[in-house]
A and B are shown apart, each in its own frame.
Chain A
């Protein structure tokens, strides 16, 4: 067994050295087990199904079939490293680990190996500065955009004045949850609200004391940076203390069906940010049903179509496919390598016409990626849960975030990283 593995690894390494691959490899570092599985499963299903669809309907990407290599991380960084090492030899084009911790791990490794990482709406926010993070992309929006979008929504509701309002941030006590704090602090200086921070430790099942504190302090708004089981518990606790759900806003990772359904009627009116459309009212879902679900090739149980996180996984896969197409056009070869994929991601342009042609009109914002800006425009919307119909619906357009504040923070954090690691800025 070990010898065969070694031989396979050796073969894979030689293959990577001389690119004679017959397919485009997209690893799926998914987690279908552990405390974050409830959120990991729909995303992984969407991600894998879209590639299955592209293969079945279009015969691959530019004529070359896509192959998804699956690896279970369990949201654990050490398993994530093992997955990265075991899949990169197969010619992996882009990594989307769906975990901020694993993304942090992969940033230096993938950069050294010349493989791009797309952390869509998670990971290290300052990776938006493409001059420092050449191989890391986090378009179309990042955590700091999210923080600003949430504050903007509160501003809209209060006619632009939130001086003296109390806002509490309930966050997962990890790199993921801590990301928005600095932005919210900066915005507090600008808009004059009081920010209080409530940390919830992994995995987030125990939140009694945090919600007791919310009951005592009576904040006007609660923002949440939660993931996995933490979301369900928080929404249930909020319902238990009858916190007004309209004033409870989650980031885009805290707003899927699995998070709100357990709280039943109590979750009605809960809001979350959105970086893409909700529901399955798009032509692409007809194709998915026809080519993937009915053909019996759907990933997982095949029952997640149209849920928020399924859509996000599908959106992530769509952006990867479009980037691969861009790379193929850019370099004039069908069987691209990771370096060419990186160029494709950097030249990616998402227009309404493109999305409409894919059967996803208005699914996400229009944006262009450049060498300097790997983070996209930072547009986002707000979605709200209707517990009677059991549906999410967008209640705003894709609005801008406060790039004046965020841009400065991105420069600050990325230049600190560059100084710590002796990275010279590129893109000249």
Chain B
């Protein structure tokens, strides 16, 4: 009734190719953006920023990155945690070595360094595929964590091997460190998320994205039609690692403030981000958001309901959390193997026909 293309006349190519062809979608997108930028900063407090919103935004970037590699280019990676660690340690080294460097450039440079490391570990993908590549990236995960634990230079020879983010400001406002106002850290991460999600959307529907998808769908056929597998796979690894590096740098500098590589960037993190894109939907930008929301918000929500509302003992609640989140993952995978993004797509298809289905 309300949600349909009827009456939308596309008179230019730009209009025909826009991301949200339906007016209601477009409005929804702009209203969400406006709320996120103009309303949320006035209401956000420490708890909401640090427990819910910041981790959500940061994991969205990681999920976008992994989705580019795994969802769009079809290269399974279990090295996400290791690459996030590269971003975090790069930002730490940059922040301490160049105290005057603007924090935005620190984060971007950390992403750049991670992109180089990611391309290095992406080289084997030309020879090995599927499960074997997953194992090779798993090796990257363990190697990188071992490296950051082993070489004291990475943590500036501190006694404990912990890295902690010094305070850095942007336009006179603290962004990192303990004195950062939640609204400022929130806006800082939000800008990264919006820009990177916008870039990812446009990359994946342009020539590069088509090449990635061609390689994913059938690499030999893609090679025959002229897609260079070396360049394509390495750009996928590079772009993906850039995103993951940025998210690692933000996770360390803005959200955690102090980190220890084995604990913060262990294999669990790789699985967490992989679950996000599987639950959210492989090869979907919306899926990255939905998956990150599911994996970050669900445990906090369950905890607040069980402990806060019903007064469960904390250990029982923690165990139930595992059961419920695990159970929901299984249910989702059975009901809709293509993830939350597919559910969303189906809902939209149904809405287009409503109230007169065929």
Contacts and interface: CB of A to CB of B under 8 A. Distances in A.
A105 B256 contact: yes
A80 to B, nearest CB: 10
Given A32-B318, A179-B160, A9 B178 contact: no
A300 to B, nearest CB: 8
A422 B159 contact: no
Contacts of A416: 158
B315 A175 contact: no
B266 interface: yes
Given A104-B260, A109-B257, A202-B263, A178 B160 contact: yes
Contact of A112 (B160, B178, B259, B304): B178
A30 B313 CA distance: 11
B164 interface: yes
B134 interface: no
A310 to B, nearest CB: 16
B319 A33 contact: yes
Nearest to A88: B46
Contacts of B258: 104-105, 107-108
Given A179-B159, A420-B96, A421-B166, A173 B257 contact: no
A179 B263 CA distance: 16
A85 B255 CA distance: 12
A70 interface: yes
B314 A72 contact: yes
A242 to B, nearest CB: 31
B300 interface: yes
A302 interface: no
Nearest to A144: B159
Contacts of A174: 161, 260, 262-263
Contacts of B51: 81-82, 85-86
Nearest to A99: B263
Contacts of A72: 303, 307, 314-315, 317-318
Nearest to A175: B160
B138 to A, nearest CB: 15
Q: Is the interface of A mostly helix, strand, loop or mixed?
A: helix
Interface string A349-388: 0000000000000000000000000000000000000000
B260 to A, nearest CB: 5
B219 interface: no
Interface in A51-109: 70-72, 74, 76-78, 81-82, 85-86, 88-89, 100-101, 104-105, 107-109
B47 interface: yes
A101 B318 contact: no
A420 B161 CA distance: 15
Interface string B231-264: 0000000000000000000000001111110111
B314 A85 contact: no
Interface of A: 1-2, 5-6, 8-10, 13, 30, 32-33, 37, 70-72, 74, 76-78, 81-82, 85-86, 88-89, 100-101, 104-105, 107-109, 111-113, 124-126, 173-176, 178-179, 181-182, 199, 201-202, 409, 413, 416, 420-422
Given A105-B257, A108-B258, A112-B177, 9 more contacts: A71-B314, A74-B318, A82-B51, A82-B300, A107-B258, A173-B149, A174-B263, A178-B159, A201-B262
